[in-house]
Structure 1
Amino acid sequence: MLEYDEKRNYIRMEIDCDITYRFAGSDELHHGRCSSISGAGVSFIASQVVDPGRAMEINVVPKNTLTPAMTAFIEVIRSTQQEDGSYEIAGTIKSIKGD
């Protein structure tokens, strides 16, 4: 039997798909690459640093058509520069937008 010692409330799933995002109060759309998602949070790669506490609307676009896109509102908790100059943005999901 496999043992799983996860301390999080939700299991994190590693994914690799497109993400679009915009900052609260802005219509300017930015593009990134989603790297993981859970029931409570998301992380993605972006070309710009984002300050913690910033509110954003994200749209995660899966590679296959069987899984629908997800639009959510997040609060950024961390922005870490990567070796290639991009930034890993981590955020807490505050709500998921319905149809």
Structure 2
Amino acid sequence: MSSVPTDYSEKRDFIRMRVDADISLIHQDQVIAAVCLDLSSSGMQVQAPQRFTVGDKLEVRIDSDHPALEGLEARTEVVWIATQPEGLQKLGLRILSMK
């Protein structure tokens, strides 16, 4: 990681893959339908219809349509939030662990 201070949105220590995939966020036993916009080995950018706060822990499930590939399940933490029109939020999620 670079020692030069930068805005969080400019940090790119890991290659990001654009995915635009439907996902499920699980927070306090509630399942919320959302969209994963991009994914890297350390985190993901998600668009969600519900309000979260920095520090919230979310379980993320991305199902696979391909029978030979398993879906992704991860425990994540909200590290940044950008409010979007119509009550949506873009979330930066750091992957804490994978199942």
| Alignment TM-score > 0.5, same fold | yes
Q: 1:49 Cα shift?
A: 1.8
Q: C-alpha distance in 1, partners of 2:63/2:22?
A: 5
Aligned pair count reads 89
Specify whether residues 7 and 43 from structure 1 end up closer, same or farther in structure 2 by C-alpha distance, changes over 3 A only: closer
**Secondary structure of 1:29 counterpart:** strand
TM-score (norm 2): 0.79
Whole-angstrom distance in 2 between the partners of 1:82 and 1:56 = 20
Q: CA RMSD in A?
A: 1.8
Flag the 1:89–1:7 CA change in 2: closer, same or farther, 3 A: closer
What are the Cα deviations for residues 31-79 of structure 1, in whole angstroms up to 9, with x where unaligned?
10110000000111110121000111000234x4154310000010112
- Give the TM-score normalised by the residue count of structure 1: 0.79
What amino acid sits opposite 1:85 in the alignment?
G
Structure 2: stretches of 5+ with no match in the other structure: 1-9
Provide the residue aligned with 1:46 in structure 2. 48
Paired position in structure 1 for 2:83: 81
What is the SS of the residue equivalent to 2:76? strand
- State the partner residue of 2:26: 22
**Identity rate, percent:** 28
